[in-house]
Structure 1
Amino acid sequence: MITEDVATLKEVQIRIEKTRQKFRENKELLRRNVGLNTKKRILACYIFSVFNYGCEAWTYSKTIQKKIQTFEIWCYRRLLKVP
């Protein structure tokens, strides 16, 4: 039987908010003169590493998977300046 771990869900939500703040602080991600490949590297190295800190202890469920995917899409949309 698989159950939803509420503590894990809260931890994921906290991580998402911290990572969104980090994303907003990195203005170089949104500059026009920076290439797309460089932006993706910065996103992977600096932003997603903040999010993934401590994820080894998470209980992975469909709900958490959906939240992670939604957050990744949010990051890429901001990176590409898609409304």
Structure 2
Amino acid sequence: MNIAISSKIRLLRSLVMSNFLYACKSWTLNANIERRIRAMETRCYRRLLGISYKDHITNEQVRRGIENAIGPHVDLLTIVPQWKLRWYGHTACSSGLAKTTMQSTVNGGRRRGRQKKGWDDNIREWTGLELRNTLRGAEDREE
């Protein structure tokens, strides 16, 4: 049975990618996670197009093949920050447990050495603002 590539891509996005992105709002994106997301997306597109790694086709060529099939396409590494920032703004405007947890700190010391990247570090990196300023901006925002 032959199915059009555009239909396959729509099915991939609605069934596979939506499940994959279900909990992305809670992920801390670091270089390793970004590499894994990119690899998963490329693996799905290779499978969809029937391209094996033995065919010696680069990942960039696979992405171009997808763009030729369906037009401009938004990759997962663009979607994840958008969803995280949207969820952050939503919880910053609310007055529930999520906001309380987001603003709370943990007592005690930290380990020696460089600290691991945290969820809030992603927000700081993407907005260019400190968390208290982003919270204030989200609370002052007109509906």
Give the counterpart letter for 2:30 in structure 1.
Answer: S
Task: Give the TM-score of the pair, scaled to structure 2.
Answer: 0.35
Aligned residue number for residue 42 of structure 2: 73
Picking from 49, 53, 58, the partner of 2:18 is 49
Question: How far apart in 2 are the matches of 1:64 and 1:37?
Answer: 28
How many residues matched? 52
State the superposition RMSD in angstroms: 0.9
C-alpha displacement of 1:66: 0.4
Q: Structure 2: which 5+ runs fail to align? A: 53-143
Task: Give the TM-score of the pair, scaled to structure 1.
Answer: 0.60
Picking from 38, 41, 59, the partner of 2:28 is 59
C-alpha displacement of 1:62: 1.0
SS at match of 1:34: coil
Aligned residue number for residue 86 of structure 2: none
Question: How far apart in 2 are the matches of 1:55 and 1:73?
Answer: 18
Greater RCO, CA 8 A, separation 6+: 1
Percent identity over the alignment is 37
Larger-gyration structure (1/2) = 2
Q: Which runs of 4+ in 1 moved over 2 A?
A: none
Q: Structure 1: which 5+ runs fail to align? A: 1-30
C-alpha displacement of 1:64: 0.4
C-alpha displacement of 1:58: 0.5
C-alpha displacement of 1:82: 0.6
